[in-house]
Chain A
Amino acid sequence: MAGILVYALHDDEGNFNKNSQGAISEAAKLAGELGTEAAAVVVGDVSDEGAQSLGAFGASKVYRAKSVPEGLAQPIVDAMAKVIEENDIDYALFGGGLLGFEIGAGLTARLGAGVTMEVTDVKVQDGGLVSVRPILQDSQIVDVQYVGKPGIIIGRLNAFDTVQGDGGSAEVIDVDVELSPWSTKAKMVTRGEQRGANVNIEDADFLVAGGRGLGKAENFDLCEQLAGALGGTVAATRAVVDAGWFPYSAQIGQTGKTVAPKLYLAAGISGAIQHKVGMQASENIVAINKDPNAPIFEFCDLGIVGDLHKIMPKLTEAVKAKKGA
C-alpha cells in the first residue's frame, strides 16, 4: 500500500502526546484527499487498546514494534524504515518535537529521502504532498515538493490540530525489528526528569509579559497574578530586565528568548521591533497599553487602550471566576 506514516510518541504511562495525535489527524485528512490511508508506528510497551485508540484520530493501521524502546530516535528509525520499505509508504509525517526531528532526519539518511522541517501546513498538489514552511524568521513562506519517495515532513510544534473522530479502531500489526548495531549504543539513563519549579518561558502555553508601562518592579505582581490565574508564567522586555525589575532568563526579544505560546499577553509593552521578533509567532497576542500609538497595536490580535493598573487586577479576578465556573 501507499500511504502516510506517523510516529506516535507516548510517555512512560502509555499516553500519546498531543503533537502525535495532531500529526495523525493531519495525515488522515491528507490521506483522504490523496485517496490513501494514514498509519501510525508505536514502539515499546503499548497495549492493544492503546494502539487501537489511535484510530480515533484517523489511523487505519498501527504498526507496533514492542521490542523497540521508546524515547531515543535511532531504534525508532530502524522500525519506521522497515515499515516504510515493506509497505511502500509515500510520506512520513512528524508532529514536531525533538524526537520527531531526530527520527525524520535519520530516515532522510537511511532512505535517501527529502526532508522539510518546521512545516506549518501541508497541501495536496498534483497527486502529491507539498510542505509549506516559513523561513527567515517567518518573513517568507516556501512551498516544498519532494523528489522521489518517500518524503519526510517534520511539523512545527503544535502545527497540526488534533481532530478526534467517532471512535474508529485501528488495526494493530506487530512488527519485529532488528536494531542496527549503532542504534543500541545510546542508552537512556533517566527520562523526563522535572527540574526547578519555574516553567521555562519557551515551553509555556500562556505568557504574561511585562514592560516599562508597569511603572515599577513591584507591579510585576500584577503579571504574576494574572499568569497564575491563566496557568501560565511571566516574561519581560529588555527594558525592564535592564532596569533590574526582572531576571534576564525571562527576557523576550532579539537578545533574549523567542517564544510562541498560545497566548501572549503584553502588559505595558510598546512592541518595539526588538521585542516583536521574539514573540510574533505567538498564536494569540493581547496587548494592554495606555498609549494608543504603541506599535504593538499594529500586530496584536486584541488590543486594549487603557490603564493596566486598573484592568489587570479585574481581569485576574474575572479569569479566576471563569475558570472556577
Chain B
Amino acid sequence: MKICVLVKEVPDAAVEKRMDPNTMQLDRSGEKNLNPFDTHAIEAAMQIKEGGAVPIEEIVAVTMGPESSVRALHKAVSLGADRSVQLTDDALAGSDVCASGYALAQVLKREQPDIVLLGQQSDDGECYTMGAVIADHLQMPSLTQVIKIDVSGGKLRCERQAEYGYDTVEVELPAVISVGDAINEPRYPSLKAIMGAKKKQLDKLSAGDAQIEASRVGEEGSRTKVLALNPPSAKEKGTIIEDEDTNETVAKIVAWLDERKLL
C-alpha cells in the first residue's frame, strides 16, 4: 500500500505575518517552515507503517508551492517519507482553496495512493477544508480533524471530536484523512536522516505534467477574490472599576454580566 502525505511550506509561526497590500496575498517572503500540523500527518503515516496492520510499501510526501517549498519536502523526508513530489509552477500562484484542491488532486491521481494524510489546518490560516475538497475530487471517503487512527481489517477506525462529543467512524480504503495535533507527538529527525534527505528521490512536476487545466488554477482559476484588506476595528476601551467597596464592586460586576446575558 502507498500513503501520500500532503505537506505545505508556511511562514514560520514565530514570525509576524502580513498581507501584501498590492497582491492581497499573504507575504511569503520571510522565514518559512514545514507546517507543524503536517508533521503530525507524517508521524501518523509512520505509525501506520510501523504498526504493521497493513503493509505500507511507500510513504510519499507531496507539496504544491514555489521552488523554495523543496525544503518542506526535505524535512518531510527526514521525518520518514521515502520520496517526495513537488508541484511547482508559476501558473499556480494565487490559487484559492478550490483551485489548490483541484491541483493537488490531479497530482494525487498520478500516485494512486491507498491513504492520503494531511494536517487539518495550516499555520498560514487555511483550515479544515483541504482534505474534504481533495477527497471529493478523488472520489474517496474522507474524514477531517481526526485524533486517533487504528487500522483493522483493511479499514481505518478513526476518532474525532464533533459537535456532540466524540465520534468513532470506520472508513474504507482508499481514503483521505486530515489529522489534528492531538493525534501524536511527532518524532525528531535523526541527524543521519537529515543528512540523507537530499539524496531521496524528488519528482518535480509542472502543471502540465500533472494534467492540470490552466483555466482552473492560479488567480484566474480561483473562485474567490479578496476585495479589501482592513485592520481589525479598534476595540473600545473597557470599563475599569477601582475596588473600594467590595460589595458594590461585586454588584457592578454581576450587573455587567447580567446585561450581557452571561448569567
Footprint of B on A, CB under 8 Å? 9, 11-12, 17, 19, 71-74, 77, 97-99, 101-106, 108-110, 112-118, 125, 130, 134-136, 138-148, 151, 154, 180-183, 185-195, 200, 206, 230, 262-263, 284-286, 292, 297, 299-307, 310-311, 314-315, 318-319, 322-323
Return the chain B residue nearest A325 by Cβ: B263
What are 25 inter-chain pairs, A to B, with CB distance below 8 A? A73-B132, A101-B132, A102-B142, A108-B98, A108-B133, A114-B222, A115-B223, A140-B232, A145-B224, A146-B225, A154-B129, A185-B140, A185-B172, A189-B170, A190-B166, A191-B167, A195-B165, A206-B262, A230-B263, A262-B262, A284-B260, A286-B256, A305-B243, A311-B253, A318-B254
B97 at the interface (CB under 8 A from A): yes
Interface majority SS (helix, strand, loop, mixed), chain A = mixed
Is B17 in contact with chain A by the CB < 8 A criterion?
Answer: yes
B interface residue numbers (CB < 8 A to A) = 17-19, 24, 26, 96-98, 101-102, 105, 125-137, 139-145, 157, 160-172, 175, 216, 222-233, 235, 238-243, 246-247, 249-251, 253-254, 256-258, 260, 262-263
Distance in angstroms between the alpha carbons of A107 and B143 in the assembled complex: 15
Contacts of A19 in B (CB 8 A): 163
Contacting residue for A142 out of B18, B228, B253, CB 8 A: B228
The verdict on A115 contacting B97 (CB below 8 Å), with A101-B128, A104-B129, A311-B249 known, is yes
A71 CA / B168 CA spacing, docked (Å): 11
Of A99, A112, A142, A299, most B-chain CB atoms within 10 Å: A142
Whether A193 touches B249, Cβ cut-off 8 Å, given contacts A301-B239, A322-B263, is no
Chain A proximity of B71: nearest CB distance (Å): 22
A117 near B129 (CB under 8 angstroms)?
A: yes
In the complex, what distance in Å separates the CA atom of A310 from the CA atom of B243?
10
Q: State whether A187 and B169 are in contact (beta carbons under 8 Å apart), knowing that A109-B133, A284-B262, A306-B249 are contacts in the complex.
A: yes
CB-based contact A135/B175 at 8 Å: no
Decide yes or no: A314 and B19 within 8 Å by CB, A105-B97, A305-B241 being known contacts.
Answer: no
A314 & B133 in contact (Cβ 8 Å cutoff): no
Report how many A-B pairs have Cβ atoms within 8 Å: 270
CB within 8 Å for A311 and B223 given contacts A142-B24, A302-B253:
no
Shortest Cβ distance from B125 into chain A, in angstroms? 5
Distance to closest chain A CB from B230 (angstroms): 5
CA A194 to CA B143, docked complex, whole Å: 20
Bound Cα distance from A280 to B236, whole angstroms: 14
Which A residues lie within 8 Å of B254 (CB)? Answer: 315, 318-319, 322
Of B97, B141, B251, the contact of A183 (CB 8 Å cutoff) = B141
Contact of A193 among B140, B144, B168 (CB under 8 A): B168
Q: How far is the CB of B263 from chain A (nearest CB, A)?
A: 5
Is there an interface contact between B143 and A140, defined as CB atoms closer than 8 Å?
A: no
- Most-contacted residue by chain B among A187, A304, A307 (CB, 10 A): A304
Distance A11 CA – B171 CA, assembled complex (angstroms): 22
- Which of B136, B166, B171, B233 is A195 in contact with, Cβ under 8 Å? B166
- Establish whether residues A304 and B229, one from each chain, have CB atoms under 8 Å apart when the complex forms: no
Instruction: Say yes or no: A192-B243 contact (C-beta < 8 A), given A74-B142, A147-B223, A180-B139.
Output: no
Q: Are B17 and A311 in contact (CB under 8 A)?
A: no
Q: Which residue of B lies closest to A315 (CB)?
A: B250
Q: Which residue of B lies closest to A19 (CB)?
A: B163
User: 9 more A-B contacts (CB under 8 A) besides A186-B141, A189-B170?
Assistant: A101-B129, A109-B135, A186-B171, A188-B169, A190-B168, A191-B167, A193-B165, A263-B262, A306-B241
CB distance from B176 to the nearest CB of A (A): 10
* In-complex Cβ contact of B253 among A134, A182, A315 (8 A): A315
Please, how many angstroms separate the alpha-carbon atoms of A148 and B96 in the complex?
A: 14
CB distance from B161 to the nearest CB of A (A): 8
Contact for B175 among A134, A144, A185, A315, CB less than 8 A: A185
Q: Of all chain B residues, which has the CB nearest A115?
A: B97
CA of A263 to CA of B260, assembled, Å: 10
